Amino acid sequence: MLKGLRYAVFTLLFLVSGCVTETKNPAAAQTRLQLGLIYLAQGELDAAQRNLQRAQLIAPKDYRVQLALARLHQAQKEDDTAQRHYLVALQLAPFNGYVLNNYGAFLCGLGQYDAAQQQFILAGRQPEKGAKADSLENAGYCYLKAGEQGLAREMLVQAIKLDRKKGRSMLAAAEKQFGKETRVETRILLDVYKHHLPASAASVWLEIRFAAQGDDVDDVARHGEYLARNFPQSIQYQHFLANEY
Protein backbone atom coordinates (compact mmCIF):
# COMPACT_ATOMS: atom_id res chain seq x y z
CA MET A 1 0.00 0.00 0.00
CA LEU A 2 2.10 2.62 -1.23
CA LYS A 3 -0.04 4.84 -3.50
CA GLY A 4 -3.47 3.22 -3.62
CA LEU A 5 -2.25 0.20 -1.71
CA ARG A 6 -4.82 -1.46 0.53
CA TYR A 7 -2.08 -3.67 1.56
CA ALA A 8 -2.25 -6.39 1.67
CA VAL A 9 0.71 -6.87 0.88
CA PHE A 10 -2.27 -6.47 2.58
CA THR A 11 -3.93 -9.55 1.21
CA LEU A 12 -6.61 -11.38 3.24
CA LEU A 13 -4.62 -11.77 6.43
CA PHE A 14 -7.25 -13.64 8.36
CA LEU A 15 -8.04 -17.32 8.52
CA VAL A 16 -11.30 -19.07 7.88
CA SER A 17 -10.81 -21.30 10.86
CA GLY A 18 -11.23 -20.14 14.42
CA CYS A 19 -13.80 -19.43 17.04
CA VAL A 20 -17.32 -18.76 15.85
CA THR A 21 -19.87 -17.47 18.34
CA GLU A 22 -23.65 -17.61 18.25
CA THR A 23 -23.96 -19.22 14.83
CA LYS A 24 -27.18 -20.94 13.83
CA ASN A 25 -25.33 -23.29 11.49
CA PRO A 26 -21.54 -23.10 11.75
CA ALA A 27 -20.93 -25.36 8.75
CA ALA A 28 -23.17 -23.30 6.47
CA ALA A 29 -21.58 -20.06 7.66
CA GLN A 30 -18.12 -21.49 7.03
CA THR A 31 -19.06 -22.56 3.51
CA ARG A 32 -20.53 -19.17 2.64
CA LEU A 33 -17.52 -17.41 4.12
CA GLN A 34 -15.07 -19.52 2.16
CA LEU A 35 -17.01 -19.00 -1.07
CA GLY A 36 -17.18 -15.29 -0.43
CA LEU A 37 -13.43 -15.10 0.09
CA ILE A 38 -12.74 -17.06 -3.06
CA TYR A 39 -14.95 -14.80 -5.13
CA LEU A 40 -13.43 -11.74 -3.48
CA ALA A 41 -9.91 -12.91 -4.35
CA GLN A 42 -11.03 -13.44 -7.96
CA GLY A 43 -12.54 -9.97 -8.15
CA GLU A 44 -16.09 -11.30 -8.56
CA LEU A 45 -17.54 -8.81 -6.12
CA ASP A 46 -21.25 -9.45 -6.72
CA ALA A 47 -20.86 -13.17 -6.03
CA ALA A 48 -18.66 -12.41 -3.04
CA GLN A 49 -21.31 -10.07 -1.64
CA ARG A 50 -24.11 -12.61 -2.03
CA ASN A 51 -22.20 -15.28 -0.15
CA LEU A 52 -20.87 -13.01 2.56
CA GLN A 53 -24.30 -11.54 3.22
CA ARG A 54 -25.64 -15.06 3.61
CA ALA A 55 -22.81 -15.83 6.00
CA GLN A 56 -23.69 -12.72 7.99
CA LEU A 57 -27.32 -13.79 8.28
CA ILE A 58 -26.23 -17.16 9.64
CA ALA A 59 -23.39 -15.92 11.85
CA PRO A 60 -23.81 -12.20 12.63
CA LYS A 61 -21.31 -12.36 15.49
CA ASP A 62 -18.52 -14.11 13.62
CA TYR A 63 -15.70 -11.57 13.38
CA ARG A 64 -14.33 -13.28 10.27
CA VAL A 65 -17.51 -12.54 8.36
CA GLN A 66 -17.40 -8.89 9.43
CA LEU A 67 -13.75 -8.70 8.37
CA ALA A 68 -14.54 -10.24 4.99
CA LEU A 69 -17.42 -7.79 4.49
CA ALA A 70 -15.08 -4.93 5.34
CA ARG A 71 -12.64 -6.11 2.68
CA LEU A 72 -15.47 -6.50 0.20
CA HIS A 73 -16.72 -2.94 0.67
CA GLN A 74 -13.14 -1.72 0.59
CA ALA A 75 -12.78 -3.36 -2.83
CA GLN A 76 -16.05 -1.69 -3.86
CA LYS A 77 -14.56 1.65 -2.73
CA GLU A 78 -17.30 2.06 -0.14
CA ASP A 79 -15.01 3.23 2.62
CA ASP A 80 -17.65 4.31 5.13
CA THR A 81 -19.37 0.92 4.97
CA ALA A 82 -16.04 -0.86 5.09
CA GLN A 83 -15.07 1.04 8.22
CA ARG A 84 -18.33 0.12 9.94
CA HIS A 85 -17.63 -3.56 9.35
CA TYR A 86 -14.02 -3.19 10.55
CA LEU A 87 -15.27 -1.60 13.77
CA VAL A 88 -17.81 -4.40 14.31
CA ALA A 89 -15.04 -6.95 13.75
CA LEU A 90 -12.91 -5.13 16.33
CA GLN A 91 -15.79 -5.16 18.82
CA LEU A 92 -16.13 -8.90 18.35
CA ALA A 93 -12.40 -9.64 18.37
CA PRO A 94 -10.56 -6.63 19.86
CA PHE A 95 -7.28 -8.51 20.34
CA ASN A 96 -7.14 -10.38 17.06
CA GLY A 97 -3.97 -9.69 15.11
CA TYR A 98 -5.55 -10.31 11.71
CA VAL A 99 -8.34 -7.82 12.36
CA LEU A 100 -5.92 -5.22 13.67
CA ASN A 101 -3.53 -5.64 10.74
CA ASN A 102 -6.29 -5.39 8.16
CA TYR A 103 -7.84 -2.36 9.83
CA GLY A 104 -4.45 -0.70 10.03
CA ALA A 105 -3.94 -1.32 6.31
CA PHE A 106 -7.32 0.22 5.61
CA LEU A 107 -6.52 3.33 7.65
CA CYS A 108 -3.18 3.70 5.93
CA GLY A 109 -4.95 3.57 2.58
CA LEU A 110 -7.05 6.52 3.75
CA GLY A 111 -3.91 8.45 4.68
CA GLN A 112 -4.54 8.11 8.43
CA TYR A 113 -0.96 7.11 9.08
CA ASP A 114 -0.70 7.61 12.85
CA ALA A 115 -3.93 5.72 13.49
CA ALA A 116 -2.77 2.95 11.18
CA GLN A 117 0.54 2.58 13.02
CA GLN A 118 -1.32 2.26 16.31
CA GLN A 119 -3.22 -0.70 14.89
CA PHE A 120 0.01 -2.32 13.71
CA ILE A 121 1.58 -1.88 17.14
CA LEU A 122 -1.39 -3.59 18.76
CA ALA A 123 -1.36 -6.34 16.14
CA GLY A 124 2.29 -7.05 16.82
CA ARG A 125 1.48 -7.80 20.46
CA GLN A 126 -1.05 -10.51 19.64
CA PRO A 127 -0.27 -14.24 19.78
CA GLU A 128 -1.52 -15.33 16.33
CA LYS A 129 1.09 -17.00 14.19
CA GLY A 130 2.54 -14.49 11.78
CA ALA A 131 0.79 -11.47 13.30
CA LYS A 132 4.09 -9.91 14.44
CA ALA A 133 5.77 -10.24 11.05
CA ASP A 134 2.63 -9.04 9.29
CA SER A 135 2.42 -5.99 11.53
CA LEU A 136 6.07 -5.08 10.91
CA GLU A 137 5.70 -5.49 7.16
CA ASN A 138 2.49 -3.48 7.06
CA ALA A 139 4.05 -0.78 9.21
CA GLY A 140 6.96 -0.63 6.79
CA TYR A 141 4.75 -0.21 3.75
CA CYS A 142 2.70 2.42 5.55
CA TYR A 143 5.79 4.40 6.56
CA LEU A 144 6.95 4.19 2.96
CA LYS A 145 3.63 5.56 1.75
CA ALA A 146 3.91 8.36 4.30
CA GLY A 147 7.42 9.26 3.10
CA GLU A 148 9.12 8.05 6.28
CA GLN A 149 11.83 6.15 4.44
CA GLY A 150 14.14 5.42 7.37
CA LEU A 151 11.36 3.98 9.50
CA ALA A 152 10.05 2.06 6.50
CA ARG A 153 13.39 0.38 5.95
CA GLU A 154 13.72 -0.42 9.66
CA MET A 155 10.32 -2.08 9.87
CA LEU A 156 10.79 -4.05 6.64
CA VAL A 157 14.17 -5.34 7.75
CA GLN A 158 12.68 -6.52 11.05
CA ALA A 159 9.83 -8.23 9.20
CA ILE A 160 12.10 -10.12 6.83
CA LYS A 161 14.40 -11.17 9.66
CA LEU A 162 11.42 -12.52 11.56
CA ASP A 163 9.93 -14.29 8.55
CA ARG A 164 12.13 -14.87 5.51
CA LYS A 165 9.04 -15.73 3.46
CA LYS A 166 8.26 -12.01 3.53
CA GLY A 167 10.90 -11.65 0.84
CA ARG A 168 8.44 -12.81 -1.79
CA SER A 169 5.84 -10.17 -0.94
CA MET A 170 8.51 -7.47 -0.69
CA LEU A 171 9.82 -8.35 -4.13
CA ALA A 172 6.25 -8.22 -5.45
CA ALA A 173 5.83 -4.81 -3.81
CA ALA A 174 9.09 -3.65 -5.43
CA GLU A 175 7.81 -4.87 -8.80
CA LYS A 176 4.62 -2.88 -8.31
CA GLN A 177 6.51 0.28 -7.43
CA PHE A 178 8.84 -0.20 -10.38
CA GLY A 179 5.77 -0.29 -12.62
CA LYS A 180 4.74 3.08 -11.19
CA GLU A 181 8.26 4.42 -11.70
CA THR A 182 8.53 5.30 -8.02
CA ARG A 183 12.26 4.76 -7.88
CA VAL A 184 12.95 5.63 -4.24
CA GLU A 185 10.37 3.12 -2.98
CA THR A 186 11.54 0.48 -5.46
CA ARG A 187 15.15 0.93 -4.36
CA ILE A 188 14.34 0.60 -0.67
CA LEU A 189 12.36 -2.60 -1.20
CA LEU A 190 15.06 -4.10 -3.44
CA ASP A 191 17.77 -3.21 -0.94
CA VAL A 192 15.93 -4.85 1.96
CA TYR A 193 15.49 -7.96 -0.16
CA LYS A 194 19.02 -8.26 -1.49
CA HIS A 195 20.75 -7.52 1.82
CA HIS A 196 18.87 -10.24 3.70
CA LEU A 197 18.01 -12.95 1.18
CA PRO A 198 19.91 -14.74 -1.59
CA ALA A 199 19.48 -13.29 -5.06
CA SER A 200 16.92 -14.95 -7.30
CA ALA A 201 16.41 -14.73 -11.04
CA ALA A 202 13.39 -12.52 -10.36
CA SER A 203 15.28 -10.13 -8.08
CA VAL A 204 18.24 -9.81 -10.46
CA TRP A 205 15.91 -9.24 -13.39
CA LEU A 206 14.21 -6.44 -11.50
CA GLU A 207 17.64 -4.95 -10.75
CA ILE A 208 18.40 -5.01 -14.49
CA ARG A 209 15.16 -3.28 -15.41
CA PHE A 210 15.60 -0.77 -12.60
CA ALA A 211 19.08 0.09 -13.92
CA ALA A 212 17.77 0.35 -17.47
CA GLN A 213 14.97 2.63 -16.34
CA GLY A 214 17.64 4.94 -14.92
CA ASP A 215 19.87 4.64 -18.01
CA ASP A 216 22.62 3.03 -15.93
CA VAL A 217 24.36 0.98 -18.62
CA ASP A 218 27.11 -0.29 -16.30
CA ASP A 219 24.62 -1.68 -13.79
CA VAL A 220 22.62 -3.32 -16.56
CA ALA A 221 25.75 -5.09 -17.74
CA ARG A 222 26.86 -6.05 -14.23
CA HIS A 223 23.53 -7.55 -13.23
CA GLY A 224 23.21 -9.17 -16.65
CA GLU A 225 26.51 -10.98 -16.15
CA TYR A 226 25.33 -12.17 -12.74
CA LEU A 227 22.08 -13.43 -14.25
CA ALA A 228 23.96 -15.29 -16.99
CA ARG A 229 26.37 -16.85 -14.52
CA ASN A 230 23.86 -17.92 -11.88
CA PHE A 231 20.53 -18.35 -13.68
CA PRO A 232 21.36 -19.24 -17.29
CA GLN A 233 18.26 -21.43 -17.70
CA SER A 234 15.82 -18.87 -16.36
CA ILE A 235 13.14 -17.15 -18.40
CA GLN A 236 14.54 -13.89 -17.07
CA TYR A 237 17.85 -14.58 -18.78
CA GLN A 238 16.03 -15.24 -22.03
CA HIS A 239 14.35 -11.85 -21.68
CA PHE A 240 17.73 -10.29 -21.02
CA LEU A 241 19.25 -11.83 -24.14
CA ALA A 242 16.32 -10.47 -26.12
CA ASN A 243 16.87 -6.98 -24.61
CA GLU A 244 13.33 -7.07 -23.26
CA TYR A 245 13.93 -4.58 -20.50
pLDDT in tens, 209-236: 999 999 999 999 999 999 999 999 999 9
Per-residue pLDDT of 120-171, as tens digits, reads: 999 999 998 899 999 999 999 999 999 999 999 999 999 999 999 999 999 9
Structure letter (DSSP) for residue 95? T
pLDDT given at position 17: 42
pLDDT given at position 16: 44
- This prediction has a pTM of 0.85
Handedness of CA 131, 136, 141, 145 (dihedral sign): positive
Cβ atoms of residues 181 and 190 within 8 Å: no
In the chain, what are the domain boundaries?
26-197
How many CB atoms within 10 Å of residue 94? 11
Distance CA 85, CA 206 (A): 38
Q: Which long-range contacts (CB under 8 A, 24 or more apart) does 168-173 make?
A: 169/9, 169/137, 170/137, 171/200, 171/202, 171/203, 171/206, 172/9, 173/2, 173/9, 173/141
What is the percentage of the chain residues whose pLDDT exceeds 90?
A: 87
**Residue 9: which residues within 8 A CB-CB, separation 6 or more?**
1, 105, 137, 138, 141, 169, 172, 173
Cβ burial of 25 (10 Å; 0-12, 13-18, 19+) is exposed
Q: Which CATH architecture has domain 26-197?
A: Alpha Horseshoe (1.25)
Cβ atoms of residues 85 and 104 within 8 Å: no
Per-residue pLDDT of 58-84, as tens digits, reads: 999 999 999 999 999 999 999 999 999
Cβ atoms of residues 73 and 85 within 8 Å: yes
Per-residue pLDDT of 14-26, as tens digits, reads: 444 444 444 467 8
Three-class SS state of 110? coil
Distance CA 48, CA 33 (A): 9
Per-residue pLDDT of 4-48, as tens digits, reads: 444 343 444 444 444 444 446 788 999 999 999 999 999 999 999
Cβ burial of 31 (10 Å; 0-12, 13-18, 19+) is middle
Q: For residue 191, what is the enclosing H or E element?
A: helix 183-196
> Which of 43, 32, 31 minimizes the C-alpha distance to 71?
43
